[in-house]
Structure 1
Amino acid sequence: MARIYPFRALRYNPSRVRIEDVVTQPYDKISPSMQQAYYQRSPYNLVRIILGLPELFDQPLAIDSRAAADVYSRSARDFAEWRAQGILYREKDPCIFAYSQRFAVASALTPDSRDAILERRGFIALGELSDYREGIVFRHEQTLAKPISDRLSLLRATRAHFGQIFMLYSDPAQTVDRLLFGNDAEASADLEVVDEFGVLHRISRISDPATINLLSAAMEDKKLIIADGHHRYETALEYSRERVPEPPSSTERNSHAMPQPPYPEAAVMMTFINIDSPGLVILPTHRVVFGLKDFSTVRFLERAETFFDIESLTATDPEGLLARLAPARASRTAFIVATAEGRYLFTLKTDAAVDALKSIPDRQRQLDIVRLHTLVLEKLLGITPEAIREQRNVHYHREPAEALEEIATGQADLAFLVNPVTLDQLREVAFAGDVMPQKSTDFYPKLLSGLAIYALD
């Protein structure tokens, strides 16, 4: 069963800072240029804690080390100072937050959509951590080694969660949304901010115990799928295992009028979104391959003909390439391959790939992104799953133009422009206990970091 809890959130003090100057995108979506811009906006911008800039005499942090390097020490120092100075204040009562996001989706971002204004609704609360084997929380993609090490070091240093795990649950009757928003999502909003992508974020504080208990009861039978935040979830789970206390006495266990996690580290801040509601958009995450020894486009194309029909394309701009990709998706696996020598549309020869894919579970065998990883990255290019996990040869872009730019500047050997995974595919894979490759999905828009903070102390 999914257990949720209200909490006394830390929040930015609007009398001391402008909210739009201090909140950020999630840490893994902050580019170097965004990081610099956040630094310039405010000395209290959250980026200084969640993704601080390194300094000259910082100590390197080994992946298996438990000692915080200087960058994490500075995060802990700044966090403590901001609390002491009143930049951050703690809510008087435990609460949850209704959270809505209003945004535009351009058809250029996701070829299956038209330009539209959408709204996504959910709520922020604590969610109890559980091992995947318990069948309450389900993942849908693999994780990378470095982000988990980094986030664990930050969590150990600051003892706080600054962003929310994005969780999906199923509620076709919209029971939770009606409980939170009624007929008007705007009536009681106490904070709103527009981010750099033009997304309007609005949250409303809910502290009424009766409402919170109704919400907790409505969520008890739900299974949860991690939409975004696999690395942070696994980080929080690891940290909770490090901090398991002695069992509380029965008196302590029943001393709270409001539901509480068994100990602070047993829960993490989450935003819960109904998978059956409108407003869920998944964008593709494009792949860039670099550092291949003696890579040759001609040899690669010759080998790829074993599994794919290959068409050389005249289009070179992202919009033109994606326009060729979307129709090809209807009948067969397809993706765009870009190298320094040209642009190519790859479409799968289904029969030729049967033997190469036979070890893959059937649900995943049908996914474009799995076929790309298995047939191209592993079999044709020889990149191991370990190398992918450690990001030795592959990294990722939301924007196709950024992927193509790496080819144009000689920073990469190949770029792969892909179609997005669908919600139905995600749900089927997750509930089957399978996992897709890393960065298979990109939910848009992202949840802002800094709207609420869960401090463990």
Structure 2
Amino acid sequence: MAKIAPFRGLRYNVAQIGDPAKVVAPPYDVISPALQQELYRRHPANIVRLILGKINETDSETDNRYTRSAADFAKWQQEQILTRDAEPSIYLYDQEYPIEGGEVVVRKGFVALTRLEDFSSGVVKPHEKTLSGPKTDRFNLTKACGANFSPIFSLYSDPCCVLESVTRKLRDKSPDMEVADDDGVRHRLWQVSDPMVIEKAQDLLDNKPLFIADGHHRYETALNYRNFMREKHPGYSGKELFNYVLMYFANMEDRGMQIFPTHRLVYNVEALNPDSLRDALGEFFEVETRNIDSADQAARQEVRQELREKGKERHCLAMYCGKGDVIYLTLRENAVMDRFFSDKSPKVLRTLDVSILHRLILETLLNISPEAQEKQTNLKYVKNFDEPFELVDCGEFQLAFLMNPTRMNEVRDVANAGEKMPQKSTYFYPKLLSGLVINKIVEGEKVED
């Protein structure tokens, strides 16, 4: 099944850059223009200049965000801002953060290379759809720089937590790098070159499939880059670095593994009448209306708690129409969704909360086509639970749909069935930092397994 390998990680030289918090960044796809600007300001060698360089009006084929990333990448290595580890290693990577109620948990994982596998092999399983635009962007960056700057986030299942036990003493030592991000999450990284530990990790993953949690576009980009490089090197052996990709591995049984919901805001839908929509929803859902003071955070949190409680037993989401009206929508029965899917679609896909929303409500009742959903023509996605209330109340959006998080077993079952969830079905928290360790794809080098 999954084949992993140690690698010579490229890392920031703390003696050169000082505070490592100034050079790391969240994944490129969650960096807003304002945060991009702030990261540029924070340090001249911040990783954002590699993963999400600025676009200039004067950009050309020879001077653009990708060529500038490549130039900075080469310069930082030459100036020893980035230095490459001497020994092939794996890197333990832990994230410590508070959950609701204030309890602090730690998500444990490790970073290594994994052999790229086509999805048809069943070794690596996606669960979300991808778009061509981001894949073209990431492919251009990989071609220009010859590196994986950010690890793909993958999950495996190990109820016995073997690797966590094997590495417990290693984690008791001071980390090679520790940094707090802007959300207060503490990230810790340990380099591990011990052959016994590496072999244990390889043995553990050797008989397991991997589920992509985050980084679907980057994984498909890595496949495209592998195929591109294989055409350039027709005598490839399979051990070349371009046949592998940088990946973070986490145990889905880990208590520190959290999935957060992503809420939907609807806008620019012609002739949308909330009262008529409420009547139409009654055919499929038990409809309960609450009126709250939407400006009161405690009242909003009560909505969140009630939505969570209702979702424990049945499929439930909430619709916010403005003026304090919160409408709980509880699916009458799972069989309702059969009419919106083919007979071949697995039950788990039909009855996901996000499938119920996208297929039944958005597509069927609001006439927002799948293409419009993918292009976000009438949709905006937000993570914060309070934001939808404010944005609907001010008139910027027509409706909000408040969601419970997708469950881990649903992610696994959809992926195992070879199906894809709608966009933004999962939000794995916390996000992995870019800049802790980089995989340089050196032509001529091969993995050591």
Question: Structure 1 length as normaliser, TM-score?
Answer: 0.88
- 1:154 is aligned to 141
Q: 1:100 aligns with which of 94, 109, 114?
A: 94
Q: Which residue of 1 aligns with 2:272?
A: 295
Equivalences for residues 110-121 of structure 1 within 5 A: 114-121=101-108
The 1:40–1:53 alpha-carbon spacing in structure 2 relative to 1, beyond 3 Å, is: same
Aligned CA distance change for structure 1 residues 408 and 51 (closer, same or farther; 3 Å): farther
Q: Distance in 2 between matches of 1:355 and 1:212?
A: 47
Contact 1:370 1:436 in 2 (8 A): yes
What residue in structure 2 maps to residue 165 of structure 1? Answer: 152
Q: Contact 2:337–2:356 (CA<8 Å) still a contact in 1? A: no
Shift of 1:268: 0.9
DSSP 3-state at the match of 2:409:
helix
Partner of 2:37: 36
Cα distance between partner residues in 2 of 1:217 and 1:262: 18
- The residue number in structure 1 matching 2:288 is 311
**1:269: Cα distance to partner?**
0.6
- Residue 280 of structure 1: how far off its partner (Å): 0.7
Amino acid at match of 1:220: D
* 1:182 corresponds to 2:168: yes
Q: 1:89 corresponds to which residue?
A: 83
The one-letter code of the counterpart of 1:413 is: Q
Shift in alpha-carbon separation, 1:184–1:70, aligned structure 2, 3 A: closer
Shift of 1:358: 4.6
Mind listing any 5+ residue stretches in structure 2 that lack a counterpart?
443-449
Aligned equivalent of 2:187, options 201, 205, 215: 201
2:65 pairs with one of 41, 51, 71? 71
Q: Report deviation, 1:394.
A: 2.4
The answer to whether the aligner puts 1:445 opposite 2:439 as a matched pair is: no
* Residue from 386, 411, 418 that aligns with 1:426: 411
Shift in Å at residue 129 of structure 1? 1.0
- Cross-structure match for 2:251: 274
| Cα displacement (A) at 1:310 | 2.7
Q: Contact 2:338 / 2:350 at 8 angstroms: preserved in 1? A: no
Of 224, 228, 237, 1:242 maps to 228
**2:39–2:46 Cα contact (<8 Å) kept:** yes
Q: What is the deviation of 1:338?
A: 2.2
Which digits, 9 at most, give the CA deviation of each residue in 1:357-397, with x for residues without a partner? 35242121222111111101111112222222233332322
What residue identity is the alignment partner of 1:247?
G
Whole-Å separation in 1 of the counterparts to 2:240 and 2:368: 42
Aligned position for 1:401: 386
Q: Please say if residues 144 and 438 of structure 1, whose CA atoms lie closer than 8 Å, have aligned partners that are also in contact.
A: no
Q: How does 1:213-224 map to 2 (within 5 A)?
A: 213-224=199-210
What are the Cα deviations for residues 8-40 of structure 1, in whole angstroms up to 9, with x where unaligned?
Answer: 111111011121101011112223332232222
Matched pairs, number: 431
Aligned residue type for 2:102: D
Q: Deviations over 1:146-166 (max 9, x none)?
A: 322322222222221111111
**d(CA) in 2 for partners of 1:354, 1:90:** 53
Q: Aligned with 1:94: secondary structure? A: coil
What whole-Å deviation, never above 9, does each CA across 1:46-92 have from its counterpart, x for those lacking one? 11221223323346xxxxxxx68822222222222222222111111
Identify the range of structure 1 (314-323 vs 80-89) with the bigger mean alpha-carbon deviation: 314-323
Q: Does 1:10 align with 2:4?
A: no
Conservation of the 8 A alpha-carbon contact between 1:309 and 1:346: yes
Q: Assess if the C-alpha contact under 8 Å between 1:145 and 1:390 holds in 2.
A: no
Shift of 1:407: 2.3
- The CA distance in 1 between the partners of 2:383 and 2:370, in whole Å, is 21
1:354, distance to aligned residue in structure 2 (A): 4.4
CA distance in 2, matches of 1:354, 1:194: 44
3-state SS of 2:328 partner:
strand
- Verify the 8 A CA contact 1:190 1:203 in the aligned structure 2: yes
Q: Secondary structure at the match of 1:102?
A: strand
- The answer to whether the 8 Å contact 1:146/1:390 transfers is no
